[in-house]
Amino acid sequence: MGARLLEGKEVADRIGKDLAVRIAALKEKGVVPGLAVIIVGDDPASVSYVTMKGKACQDLGMYSLTVREPADLREEALLHLIDELNRDPKVHGILVQLPVPGHIDVGKVIAAIDPKKDVDGFHPTNVGKMLIGEDGGFLPATPYGIHVMLSAYGIDVAGKHVVVVGRSNIVGKPMAAMLMQKGIDATVTVCHSRTRDLKAMTLQADVLISGIGKALFITADMVKEGAVVADAGSNRIDDPSTPKGYRFVGDVDFDNVKEKASAITPVPKGVGPMTIVMLMSNTVLAAEGSLER
C-alpha cells in the first residue's frame, strides 16, 4: 500500500500564514522582523540554503540581509561583523551559515552571537535552556521543524521508541533533547558512527529520524514494519537524466522504505521547508521579544 507522505511543505505553508498575521501586527507597531545571514566562502549547498532563507524572508515581508564574505576572511573580522549585527536594531535574528572555513573557530563564532538574536538556537545559553526544558530560548530549526511536523500529522511520540541516527549539534543531539522532555515523553536512542550493529537498533524504532548526511544510507531492511520515518538528510548525487545533471536525495532509500513505513517524509518538500519556516518563526519571535526590552 505504501506509506503516508508527511509533506513538510503543507505544514510550513500553514505556519507561514500565521506568521504573516504576526508580522503585520509587528509592522503596525513600527517593527519589521529582520534576519541577517552571514556566509563565508562559496560552498554550493550553503549558497543554496542562504538563497532559500532570503527568499522566505522576502515572501513574508521581512527584512533580509545577506552578508557574503570570502573564504579567507579572518576570524577577527567575522567576530567584528557579528558584533555590529548584535547592535543593529533592524536585525532581530543572526545566523552564520555552517560550515565555515577550517581556520575559523565555530564555537567562538556561535558564542559571539547575542543569545536573544541566535535564531539558529546554537548558542550555549539557548542549548542549555533546551536541555533543561526552560522556556525563553530558541530551538534549532531542523529538529524543531520535525517535532512540529510530526505533531501536525497527529503522530504522538509519547511512550514510543524514537531512534535518532546521527549525533550532530545541528540535528541529532537537539532532536534527542527535545523529544525526551516531559510532556513529549519519547524514549530516545541516539546512534552514531561508533554504534555496534546499527541495523539492530534501527529495527527497534517506532519512529526513525536520520540526520547523518549519507545518501540513501537507511535501507528498507533497517526499518521496522509500520515505523514512522523522518529524513533530515539532503544529499546531492549525480543524475545525468536531470537538466542540471544532479538531484537531491535524503539519507533514506525512499522508494523502498516507503513500502514498509506507515509514514515517511519525502526529499525534497519534507523536512527542508520545515527548517526554513521554523527559522522564520524564531526570527518573528525575536522581533516580538524586542518590544519587551
Domains of the chain in start order, with CATH, are 30-117 (3.40.50.10860), 141-272 (3.40.50.720)
Nearest to 116 by CA among 107, 128, 125: 125
- Asked which of 50-54, 83-87, 188-192, 217-221 is least confident by mean pLDDT, the reply is 50-54
Higher pLDDT, 39 or 244: 39
Q: Looking at the whole model, is its pTM more than 0.85?
A: yes
Q: Is the pLDDT of residue 26 over 90?
A: yes
Active-site residue identified among 116, 117, 118, 120: 120
- C-alpha span between 118 and 115 (Å, rounded): 5
Q: Strand 246-249 relative to strand 235-238: parallel, antiparallel, unpaired?
A: antiparallel
pLDDT at 89: 97
In this structure, the dihedral spanned by the alpha carbons of residues 211, 140, 38 and 34, taken in order and rounded to 10 degrees, is 140
- C-alpha span between 156 and 207 (Å, rounded): 10
- Is 120 a catalytic site residue? yes
Q: Is the pLDDT of residue 91 over 60?
A: yes
Active-site residue identified among 97, 118, 173, 231: 97
Is the Cβ–Cβ distance between 169 and 109 less than 8 Å? no
Question: Residue 209: which region, alpha, beta or left (left: phi > 0; alpha: psi -120 to 50)?
Answer: beta
pLDDT at 212: 95
- CA atoms within 13 A of residue 173's CA, in its CB half-sphere: 10
Q: What is the percent of the chain with per-residue pLDDT over 70, rounded to a whole number?
A: 99
- C-alpha span between 291 and 293 (Å, rounded): 6
pLDDT at 48: 83
Q: Is the pLDDT of residue 162 over 90?
A: yes
Rg for the chain, CA atoms, rounded? 19
Count the Cβ atoms, other than its own, within 10 Å of residue 137.
19
Nearest to 77 by CA among 90, 91, 96: 96
pLDDT at 30: 97
Nearest to 134 by CA among 170, 187, 186, 181: 181
pLDDT at 149: 98
- Is 53 a catalytic site residue? yes
Q: Is the pLDDT of residue 1 over 70?
A: no
pLDDT at 45: 77
Distances (CA, A) of 174 to 122, 148, 177: 9, 14, 5
Task: Please report which confidence band the pLDDT of residue 2 belongs to, taking 50, 70 and 90 as the band edges.
Answer: confident
Q: Is the pLDDT of residue 138 over 90?
A: yes
Higher pLDDT, 44 or 132: 132
pLDDT in tens, 170-223: 999 999 999 999 999 999 999 999 999 999 999 999 999 999 999 999 999 999
pLDDT at 236: 85
pLDDT at 47: 86
